[in-house]
Amino acid sequence: MADQAQYEFESIGTRWWCEMLDDSVFSPAIIHDIAVICDEFDRRYSRFRDDSLVAELARTGVLVNPPEELLRMLDFAHEMEQVSEGAFTIAVGPALHRLGYGARTHGGTVRKSIWEDITYDTQKVTIPKGVMLDFGGQGKGWLIDRLADVFRQHGVKQFIINGGGDLFVQSDAPVELALEDPYDASKMVGKVMLTTGALAASSTLRRTWRSETGDHHHIIDPVTGQSSKTGIAASFVTAPTALVADTMATILILRPELEATLAARYRLQTKLLRMSNGSSLQR
């Protein structure tokens, strides 16, 4: 849908919805750039594709001439593992595979941390063979921020990018955003106002499945190798970038005790919803 103020598409397994808030429109040039960046990101970092870079790393343990973007993503992932006291890791892929979420033939072994055994520079990335990197905890936020740069490069000054419910807003006037009740999408548990910044949400009630070992959700605690059991049903985070908001929404489900520390360090506003009696929510 070219030359319109709104544009919707599918990418990296989720639905995207974007809107121009000024006089700009989605020209064919902008739509082309969006498609190229999203396709490249999926081809490089999807753990569900056998031809992706992370799949090649899992098979061989080596990637020659890595894209500069991958190096920056590794830097960020390392920082997040440190500030989350080990709760956030990009080595969680094997645990997801083992629990039956997107099982692959090269799932590898579960590792709490890869940083003692990984080396990377502009020439080569090496990791222990069989380790499947999973950028799912930060990838959507990273891609949202990249698309925001595309909009700015095309002269768009006010816009909203919504990637599967995580958003980035750039606007002259505050935009009101609802916080969706994780138990009932027709209800909200609050709202926030954003002019420039991101909102991300995460929930243990979404992306659930059942396997021979029981019921699971996709937020894995690397200490146990199992789905998180902290009692947090959902998290909502606003931050200056979608990358930080997306990642922190996951971290705070795994380590809610770090809420105040991380909020101060990364300029976050947060809301955590806790389960009570296994069904209702508490602030």
Query: If you search the block for the tokens 């606003």, which residue do you land on?
Result: 238
**Residue 92 class from Cβ within 10 Å (0-12 exposed, 13-18 middle, 19+ buried)?**
buried
| Domains present along the chain, CATH in parentheses | 6-23+157-282 (3.10.520.10), 43-136 (1.10.3980.10)
Q: For residues 83 and 258, give the distance between their C-alpha atoms in angstroms, rounded to a whole number.
A: 9
12 Cβ contact partners less than 8 Å away, ≥ 6 residues apart:
38, 41, 42, 46, 139, 140, 143
pLDDT, position 276 = 62
For 25, 189, 240, 273, the CA distances from 186, given in Å and listed in that order, are: 30, 10, 28, 17
- Block residue for tokens 């030359």: 3
Q: Which pLDDT score, from 0 to 100, does residue 211 have?
A: 55
Burial (CB count <10 Å: 0-12, 13-18, 19+), residue 222: buried
What is the rounded distance in angstroms from the CA atom of residue 166 to the CA atom of residue 68? Answer: 25
User: How many other β-carbons are positioned within 10 Å of the β-carbon of residue 73?
Assistant: 21
208 vs 41, 58, 233, CA distance in Å?
25, 25, 12
In what side-by-side order are the strands of the sheet with 232-239? Answer: 6-11, 14-20, 159-163, 166-181, 184-203, 232-239, 269-276, 280-282
Which is nearest to 115 in space by CA: 132, 142, 83, 90?
A: 90
pLDDT digit string (tens) for the chain, length 283 residues? 456 899 999 999 999 999 999 989 999 999 999 999 999 999 999 988 999 999 999 999 999 999 999 999 999 999 999 999 988 988 864 444 444 444 444 444 444 568 889 999 999 999 988 788 889 889 999 999 999 999 999 999 999 999 999 999 999 999 999 998 888 888 999 999 999 999 999 987 765 545 555 554 467 777 766 666 767 889 999 999 999 999 999 999 999 999 999 999 999 999 999 876 544 444 4
pTM of this structure: 0.86
CB contact at 8 A, 40 and 31: no
Q: In the prediction, which pLDDT does 168 show?
A: 98
Q: What pLDDT score does 91 carry?
A: 80
Cα distance from N-terminal residue to C-terminal residue, the chain? 41
CB count in 10 Å sphere of residue 277? 6
Neighbours of 235 (CB within 10 A): 25
The amino acid at residue 251 is: I
